[in-house]
Structure 1
């Protein structure tokens, strides 16, 4: 365990920059996993981090101690920070003081999409994106394609909302959805209020690509034209529309229900 007690320490400055700056995270190809749950999920699903950071006050916490033991056994660099320095880089209020620095995964685009996937066109709210990713992972989705303009999937806010879902998905940033959808060999489904077919009437027993868009503007007209089918979620007329993360969860788990009934 390497203690760092100065704000002027170069490694600490790098950590603070990663924590505060999305561009810095993208440029470095790194992100932060903040909290016991995300760190445990990463160890279980992926492996060892580049760096493990703990607050002095958290070192004796049983879950933190167990994570530290695993990291040190694999010779991962572990550093300790005074509580005030740790809180300056953590975005979790009243959490247990541990975080990982990891390389942001960059999966290779599949040559052919054969499994149910999600394509996101300009989804901007980190909480919505994280919740959607959590639902996608729980529903058995393999791939998530994020078009330019979509929130950075590996930002700390999105990852906290995702609760470890990221490590069960292949997430493709800056994806060219037009190219991807143009060669898709499975149906592309988009939700729309201008159709009569409900998700409960659609045949969802096969693999599909779900297309979801911006919270306010929805899917762009260009991409909407590429949808094989549009479906609607029945709801009360007094409500203009559902939250995109809620809509995605309803669609994905209606598909799960239909597939389980085969």
Structure 2
């Protein structure tokens, strides 16, 4: 139960102006340029904030609307117990700093994830499974792939150049919190795929040319699986670095699968083999 004192204290400290310097900085995080400059990103909504508070990627600041104090009070207690700064704002300020048309009553500021490609290399042996993203452009697709990687217990995700920003608000929402559950790093695929192969890791990619049917492939060894751009697929320069090319058999008349669906099919086949 929220106390009278807590409600009134929140109301007294509420940031009400969109011109407040902190509000301007939070709003900057809606752009990639702002996120790169400040080194932080925004997560919106009760579920994502709860996931962050339960992870190693602890938010620095939790911002909530004073008008809906009762809705967020259990989350506030958890955040304050973890030493997270909690700042009340008006609904108008909340709307300025969030990406959704109907904002939830809370968002948080989180430092960018600390993972590096070298972390994925270390975690890949003896039997790791890493999803490698080569130029995915749609934030929803990237978020879905991260969720699928999380669902099958993958070791991590490597984002190559030209891929949509991991910290795009739509990407973050699409992960449903999975970006806090496994390592996600960004790196040059031309540098890291050869290093993975040299370490004895199988590098596989989806391809129509010279590809082996998915169900004939062995995903039990350590594997980095490359999923390509929605329109062009895996780029030729990256495809040349793969030691295995995989084709998803289809019995119907569809020409191809959505990139996120294709990645999910491969990931769950890899999980089936590893559990079997």
User: Between Structure 1 and Structure 2, which shows a larger proportion of helix residues?
Assistant: 2
Aligned residues: 257
Shift of the alpha carbon at 1:97? 0.8
Contact 1:193 1:232 in 2 (8 A): yes
Aligned to 1:84: 92
From 195, 205, 211, the equivalent of 2:220 is 205
From 207, 216, 220, the equivalent of 1:192 is 207
Aligned to 2:36: 26
Q: Give the whole-Å Cα distance in 2 for the aligned partners of 1:47 and 1:149.
A: 25
Shift of the alpha carbon at 1:153? 0.8
Shift of the alpha carbon at 1:72? 2.2
Contact 2:23 2:97 in 1 (8 A): no
RMSD of equivalent CA atoms: 1.6
Shift of the alpha carbon at 1:95? 4.7
Contact 1:58 1:96 in 2 (8 A): no
Shift of the alpha carbon at 1:241? 1.3
Q: 1:234 to 1:221 in 2, by over 3 A?
A: same
- Deviation sequence 1:84-120 (CA, Å, 0-9, x none): 2212222234453101101001223235432111111
Task: With the length of structure 2 as denominator, give the TM-score of the two structures.
Answer: 0.88
Q: Is residue 165 of structure 1 aligned with residue 173 of structure 2?
A: no
Contact 1:189 1:228 in 2 (8 A): yes
Contact 2:214 2:248 in 1 (8 A): yes
Contact 2:18 2:96 in 1 (8 A): no
Task: With the length of structure 1 as denominator, give the TM-score of the two structures.
Answer: 0.92
Aligned to 1:248: 263
Shift of the alpha carbon at 1:201? 1.2
- Deviation sequence 1:192-224 (CA, Å, 0-9, x none): 122452111111222211011111111111111
From 10, 13, 22, the equivalent of 2:21 is 10
Aligned to 1:134: 147
